[in-house]
Structure 1
């Protein structure tokens, strides 16, 4: 292998294929590697993709090696929706079309194109999205775990944890995401580069310095990884608040800091441990491209770009392009978010007849279904369901199709008054009683917040709006569909990963076909037992927290939740790494927890925490591991960075939570003078009582009103099979992805068609039209466009919050008030409540 202290490459004298086969120099092969217009358009290749490394591998590749690579393309990527379809088509034709060799000219053309594709796949990524932002070289001597990287990273982790937890209980709230830290980390790093001394120290035989010189990309990405770990508050904080506050469960002992930290750190670290154990499935395979990571890397590369290549005539640098987009969106976002909110909710059709119930329900975008050809001018509304520039177009198309197909179902249920839905708003995520008011859980429980049968029967069953019912049905179908889909489409990869895991086969190899795996082989890998130890310790901490305190919850809840996460983390992770769609277990965890721990809201909350949240954390940590894999950060450095950032973030969040619960007077009260009214916690409490105290049997059990929705589990399990076989026969169905299609049905309540339809023209323009015709421009600027917009919106929202919303400055005029007036803003039901004062069975008529 070429010296990794030089500009390390995956080629040179590395591959066996380079030592055999035909001889030939770069000059002799130069003509054969010219990228034609057809290759650029159909195969998504650029002139810059082919260099001397590709030429060397292509010229020395034997026919046997080429045949093996072509077979690999068909077998491993034949159903990969991100892999260039034209390459799969040519490879399939080369292997299976017996008439191809009858045309020597066409055969030679296909043969040469596949040879170049095979060489490119070996020296770089097969995916143009990855090649656009990820380098296929590495310099292992580049400083990464420097003092300034750790210092900046930990400071930002503490700051974002403090702000996100402190303002979580306030209305309106505020959140700092990793995008903001990623932008601010660069000037912070350059500042320390300029002011820190270059003194050298020797600690336990290790020589280090405060200032190793240029603030580099790897340091920047390490800080970003820490920030991504640290910005989310522990899910258990909601559980603790609900336990402690007197207007909820009034358990004063829940203010114990040790208890809060044990359960908080446990849920975070379990996800971390599971992520490490899923690396063979979610990190090392080349098909796991994790599109969100590509946008993250593109942003950092804008700050560290060393050259400014021309892209379809555009010479503007990445940094300048980012700043122009960032500044433009920073200023513009003030209008849809604060000054002229009609630009955000452009429900102009409802303005024709504001009090028309049907018009508002069908076309409204505040509480309606959003059937509006021009629904918004707010980028934040466009990307809230799926980012059209980051997500592959097939993902956007499947999400949109799922929304379109389910819209008439919602209308049919609502206009047909199925399950009394016509008495409720069409697209609300609230829970209602039989008078159409929000469900008052205090009327169904006793003074100790435990379920009271007599009070419940004297009050009302719980009812869901039509959009929310469709969402629950889609969730039920999605869980089983994801397992069926994983079996049909990814059983080969999953079984191979398990075999390697059981045998203890090395994760990375210097002879691996994937260039980034080969580059990472020079670094020491994190042993499996490190992650397994973290997982065991986290389980022990969680069990100790539940068992040592009067939670009325068995410590076995931790194991139940982890078992649920183990079932779904690999299928969900594979789907997310390919499609950029994150599936969640929140509904299934609530459903199963309510069945297993009926009447115990706290136990259900913890089952949800250890089942749903640990899966979400697993995928988040795995995504960061892939990010480190792409930018070639040593795995052990990433391990320590994620671990310490998690601990610091948890300590800060728990400390702030403890202060808020014990020192802020009347916290979570609707009349709290400083607006710490806990909007999210109130919603959490309602869900806890509905699923834990009332339990899912009263809504979905035998004889219950929504029992029919349980058929969706079976529908979801069966649905992938016909489309799998149709895809093998008809190309039309090759890009149909059942879990992503069902994910499109999850946008309802509270979002609408307006939030995905507005993204579709943008998705097509950038990821189909521009990508196919102007690939160089797309490669340079596409991901940078969306990351600059997202970062600007985040920082602009922070400035608006502290400058105007915190002091209570409100602009009241037609441009701000009109979108929320009339039936769209007021969520009008189709039918009025009957004269008897309620709909459905009355008191004493339901059980």
Structure 2
């Protein structure tokens, strides 16, 4: 398995932020302090609070005027209909750790007490609140999360497809693609997230609106305006959608270097720019075609809420509220700075600071201070080392980029569950290494490399024939592949994650998925009726109060994209991909693409529905490795191409659907969204393919001697997986009697963990502690932070999250909501700018420039500098394991 690929496992839904004003007393206390009118302060909260699935109750995020309108409509909601809707809402959120428990308790009380229905006047307060909840669900959206973040109104005359939005979107897409593609080779990587694009584009567009003239021309009957007026939220979301497509690295970021570089497969054809562009563009566009064809199933129904998209909507919306109300914060002071000012201060501050851990004093980044005591102590390094061990270090870094700052946007229960999983993985790794299970004691404890039986890096070219295929005789004469304890533990948990996710969805989210499939059935009926040009009819069983929301109805004002547009985007890229595979000496058949297409055709609707409804990602990479490795046994390139179309097309289709939902929530015309995603994908593919040879030309790239830490941890993992699954094939590794067959225990392990948790929830139904446990997140820990990563790359998130979520947010929610995401994006922007300057101005020039002193050299001492040491000396025979030629 290739950990550190661009997999959906790592894509956990961003957090939500909430205003925890549970009653009018809290509101009164706050507006008394601020000398504000209650309704005015409620509006202020609405403008400042970003989405938080953890405590949004519809009434808590409803303005005073909206409440008055709802109150006037209470008589239209009967008690029986209220009960039906509340029951549906309860089913949706019973197993949602982000949903407030006290709201669920009120719903259960309402439904379980027959006296409420017999004598509603005696329970007027509870009935009143439940009717309001039911009205909110039907008059706006059935989902509290959506109501708290997405406006239920639209202005069809608001301009969106402007010169300003397109220019900024295209420039940002190109810049973000290059930065992310370049630093995806780095350890740790540097990524410019879409939140950065959201924040940076705002002052740029505002400056455009203030400074540029209002020049207008007519072209093809349309008036094009250079400066149509104030920058609005639809333009902002259009830019965000374009950046969402391109602010990442393509899957070919793994394929191209692994095929081309001499420390991997050393295949010269991969340096061809034509091949690079065709394979990159085709693999990206196939996913878009799938997304478009399935949009009426995975995007438009109200059941497809796409929880991860809501914080993006909230952040964009918050920037276009003109109010800048002072907020109370730490030290009980009132802070009045604007978001733009805080963003600027945070960016400049982190830009300056990052020169220290990134260049001047690199030991601040890899702060493996315990190993400095005895650099050559193998056991000390194995336990506490950052580059050579498991990172069990209470303070492993002063570098924000080491842990990525996700503690500012992941809910606490996610952070702590993953933290527990990383610890469990570390303990398992130590046990395997010290017991010398699978001869891991002869290897470094936590490497993602593939080794031969002498402990050297595995030379895959030795066992390949002149066509790049597997040579059985050469394989037997050389060596079996061997993997470190850390990498083996990763594989166990990767298997477990697959079975655990499916089991968790079945046990805890079957009601949501069933509701989603009802929406699928209804959408398919409408599609079929439109093909036959007959009106769709809904049977009584399909009537659902929570089916189509107000956002779907509002989007009917805009022209739809014809389905044949997406069909072209599905078929044409397949042809381009087959040309790339067949026209260059890949030693693979274009049929690998055809085989690969079967997986998304079968699996995309169920996994897309699961993610759209529950926010839980179901990755296809494991099953793609197993099936692809079996079909393409002995051919690593065949496996790579199979995975491109089997796994990545599904992952990209889900990403495109998520972006379409962003446009749906902001009421961006579908045809504008279509072209925005298409243009951004072209830019993404072009810039990526044009940068590969430039990046691969750096001296020492993908080796321990590479400058600026361009050591390619993800590419090495991909190479290992290609050998693991492709060249050698699953049969030789996991077949009956084979050495790593035991790793398959991960599949039943994931199932058992979820079932045990399900039993605990039933045995302790009122325990909030048990409710906050999430077995899938526990398993995600050792998968996301597997070799060569470790606890040191994650512990900072725990500290940051406890300060942000558990201290600041609980005490100063408005302060937190206003600036939390801004600070996160500012730090990412400052690091990205500093890294670019350091790389191109200091590292890249001939001869480079570095500071030769202890603070930079100590990180290269002893086992840390070697990436870890083996615990056991090599046997006298010069190799470990079975003798060459004796294994089958």
TM-score over 0.5 (shorter chain): yes
1:752 aligns with 790
Which residue number in structure 2 is paired with residue 346 of structure 1?
367
8 Å contact from structure 1 (residues 414, 466) kept in 2 = yes
2:386 alignment partner, one of 365, 375, 380? 365
Aligned twin of 1:156: 172
User: Please, which moves more after superposition, 625-634 or 834-843?
Assistant: 625-634
Deviation at 1:475, TM superposition (A): 1.2
Quick check: 2:183–2:190 contact (8 Å CA) kept in 1? Answer: yes
In 2, the alpha carbon distance for the partners of 1:408 and 1:90 equals 42
Contact 1:462–1:699 (CA<8 Å) still a contact in 2? no
Q: Contact 1:280 / 1:497 at 8 angstroms: preserved in 2?
A: no
* 1:14 corresponding residue in structure 2: none
Kindly state the Cα deviation for residue 419 of structure 1 after the two structures are TM-superposed: 0.7
* Post-superposition offset of 1:565: 3.2
What is the CA–CA distance in structure 2 between the aligned matches of 1:814 and 1:257, rounded to whole Å? 42
Instruction: State the distance in 2 between where 1:460 and 1:206 align.
Output: 68
Quote how far apart the aligned CAs of 1:244 are.
6.3
> For the structure 1 residues 809 and 320, does the alpha-carbon distance in structure 2 shift closer, same or farther, using more than 3 Å as the test?
same
SS at match of 2:504: helix
Provide the rounded CA distance (Å) in 2 between the counterparts of 1:770 and 1:280.
Answer: 41
1:837 alignment partner in structure 2? 878
User: Is 1:560 the counterpart of 2:610 in the alignment?
Assistant: no
Cα drift, residue 594 of structure 1? 1.7
- Within a 5 Å distance, the mapping from 1:677-756 to structure 2 comes to 679=712, 684-685=718-719, 687-717=721-751, 719-731=753-765, 732=767, 733-746=770-783, 747-756=785-794
Deviates most, 349-358 or 283-292: 283-292
Distance in 1 (alpha carbons) for counterparts of 2:499 and 2:719: 28
1:209 has 2:225 as partner: yes
Give 1:110's aligned residue. Answer: 126
User: Equivalent residue of 2:408, what SS?
Assistant: coil
- Is the Cα contact below 8 Å between 2:495 and 2:750 reproduced in 1? yes
Q: Out of 493, 504, 514, which is 1:492 matched to? A: 514
Within 5 Å, give how 1:118-517 maps onto structure 2: 118-121=134-137, 134-161=150-177, 178-179=194-195, 181-194=197-210, 196-236=212-252, 239=255, 259-279=275-295, 283-284=299-300, 293-294=309-310, 296-297=312-313, 300=316, 304-312=320-328, 313-383=334-404, 387-488=406-507, 489-490=509-510, 491-504=513-526, 514-517=549-552
> How many residues matched?
809
Q: Does 1:78 align with 2:94?
A: yes
In structure 2, distance between residues paired with 1:117 and 1:145: 36
Separation of aligned partners in 2, 1:108 and 1:34: 27
CA distance in 2, matches of 1:172, 1:101: 59
**Distance change in 2, residues 1:367/1:329 (3 Å):** same
* Cα distance change on mapping 1:765 and 1:314 into 2, 3 Å: same
1:429-828 matches, cutoff 5 A: 429-488=448-507, 489-490=509-510, 491-504=513-526, 514-526=549-561, 528-547=563-582, 551-569=586-604, 573=608, 584-657=619-692, 679=712, 684-685=718-719, 687-717=721-751, 719-731=753-765, 732=767, 733-746=770-783, 747-807=785-845, 808-826=848-866, 827-828=868-869
1:837 deviates by 1.7
Q: Aligned with 1:367: secondary structure?
A: coil
Corresponding residue number in structure 2 for 1:51: 64
Q: Cα gap change, 1:835/1:311 in structure 2, threshold over 3 Å: closer, same or farther?
A: same
Mean CA deviation greater in 267-276 or 115-124: 115-124
CA-to-aligned-CA distance 1:758-784 (integer Å, 9 cap, x gap): 322432443344444433333322322
Contact 2:97 2:772 in 1 (8 A): yes
Whether the 8 Å CA contact 2:704–2:711 is kept in 1: the answer is: no
Verify the 8 A CA contact 2:191 2:828 in the aligned structure 1: no
User: Does the aligned pair in 1 maintain the 2:611–2:618 contact within 8 Å?
Assistant: yes
1:360–1:824: 8 Å Cα contact kept in structure 2?
A: yes
> 2:193–2:825: 8 Å Cα contact kept in structure 1?
no
Cα distance in 2 for partners of 1:388, 1:673 equals 30
Q: CA deviation at 1:707?
A: 0.9
Secondary structure of 1:207's counterpart equals strand
Please give the alpha-carbon distance, in whole angstroms, between the structure 2 residues aligned to 1:355 and 1:824: 8
Q: Helix, strand or coil for the counterpart of 2:380?
A: helix
Partner residue in 2 for 1:63? 78
Per-residue Cα deviation, 1:607-661 (whole angstroms, up to 9, x for no partner): 1211232233223223322332333322221111001221233234334557889
User: 8 Å contact 1:519–1:632 — kept in the other structure?
Assistant: yes
User: How far did 1:127 drift?
Assistant: 7.6
Deviations 1:482-524 (A, max 9, x none): 23333332431442243134213699x9996745445444333
- CA 578–408 in structure 1, closer or farther in 2 if over 3 Å, else same: farther
Flag structure 1 segments of 5+ consecutive residues without an equivalent.
1-28
Q: Which residue of 2 aligns with 1:18?
A: none
8 Å contact kept, 2:502–2:618: no
User: Counterpart of 1:351 in 2: which secondary structure?
Assistant: coil
Contact 1:183 1:791 in 2 (8 A): no
**TM-score of the pair, normalised by structure 1:** 0.84
Partners of 1:666 and 1:801 lie apart in 2 by: 13
1:281–1:96 distance in 2 versus 1, CA, 3 Å:
farther
State the alpha-carbon separation in 1 of the partners of residues 502 and 187 from structure 2.
39
Structure 2 gaps, min length 5: 1-37, 46-52, 329-333, 531-535, 537-543
Cα separation, partners in 2 of 1:159 and 1:383, compared to 1, 3 Å: closer
Question: Match of 1:388, SS?
Answer: helix
1: CA distance between counterparts of 2:263 and 2:857? Answer: 33
